[in-house]
């Protein structure tokens, strides 16, 4: 799996490898254009979005849901969500400070394909939950309803209204091509100076022998002995 937020890099790998290519949306978005999804399919088979791109929040309260995940999956793109952590401060209040409730909501309510987490043991334990195999989930496996806490809060306690996240457009995805690769020079110098500007070993030995009054190595024969 190769992940990148650079579409040109993924396009380059697509022509030279068989890895799963994952496009990273590196900002919170509230929607995505169909034309943008079609563009992403040209270089990736999966997409990573943030948690707030699935369930927007205000003051750590879930305010609703987006259609980003179902739209991407409608184009046969797998959707992974990041980042999941065990610390309660990383979760919306709606999840009751329970990392399993949070993961369960993203899977059972929105149907994401996978998570990116700093605590893989938590995600692995959730995946082994036998309740996920039931045709009818028990009540305690019910997902959180986005905006449920806001609905029962008094008006004066509601968080201030927040501007919606931007829409992911074609301009955000399409990038200029990679610059051409500059091939290394094949010039090795004149024999006395290397191509990097540093003197070669032969030139150094010559300077040493001249300073000590010894015959230069290139004037002799064999192992630096003078000619007869």
Tell me: the pLDDT tens digits for 186-195? 665 555 555 5
Q: Which range (75-89, 126-140, 143-157, 206-220) has the least confidence?
A: 206-220
pTM for the whole structure: 0.76
Q: pLDDT for 62-71, tens place per residue?
A: 999 999 999 9
Q: Quick check: helix, strand or coil at residue 195?
A: coil
pLDDT of residue 94: 96
How many other C-beta atoms lie within 10 A of the C-beta of residue 225?
A: 11
How large a percentage of the chain has pLDDT more than 70? 81
Cα–Cα distance, 123 to 100 (Å, whole number): 8
pLDDT at 115: 97
DSSP state for residue 209 in the 8-state scheme? H
> What pLDDT, on a 0 to 100 scale, did the predictor assign at position 225?
44
Q: Model confidence over 9-68: pLDDT tens digits?
A: 999 888 887 889 999 999 999 999 999 999 999 999 999 999 999 999 999 999 999 999
């Amino acid at each position: 799996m190769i992940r990148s937020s650079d579409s040109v890099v993924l396009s380059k790998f697509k022509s030279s490898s068989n890895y799963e290519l994952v496009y990273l949306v590196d900002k919170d978005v509230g929607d995505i254009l169909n034309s943008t999804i079609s563009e992403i399919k040209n270089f990736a088979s999966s997409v990573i979005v943030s948690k707030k791109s699935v369930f927007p929040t205000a003051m750590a309260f879930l305010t609703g849901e987006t259609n980003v995940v179902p739209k991407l999956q409608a184009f046969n793109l797998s959707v992974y969500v990041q980042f999941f952590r065990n610390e309660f401060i990383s979760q919306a209040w709606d999840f009751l400070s329970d990392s399993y409730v949070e993961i369960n909501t993203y899977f059972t309510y929105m149907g994401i394909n996978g998570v990116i987490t700093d605590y893989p043991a938590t995600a692995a334990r959730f995946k082994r939950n036998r309740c996920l195999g039931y045709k009818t989930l028990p009540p305690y496996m019910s997902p959180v309803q986005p905006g449920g806490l806001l609905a029962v809060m008094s008006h004066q306690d509601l968080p201030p209204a927040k501007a919606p996240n931007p829409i992911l457009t074609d301009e955000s995805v399409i990038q200029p091509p990679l610059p051409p690769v500059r091939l290394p020079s094949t010039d090795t110098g004149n024999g006395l100076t290397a191509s990097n500007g540093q003197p070669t070993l032969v030139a150094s030995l010559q300077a040493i022998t001249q300073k000590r009054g010894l015959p230069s190595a290139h004037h002799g024969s064999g192992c630096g002995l003078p000619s007869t």
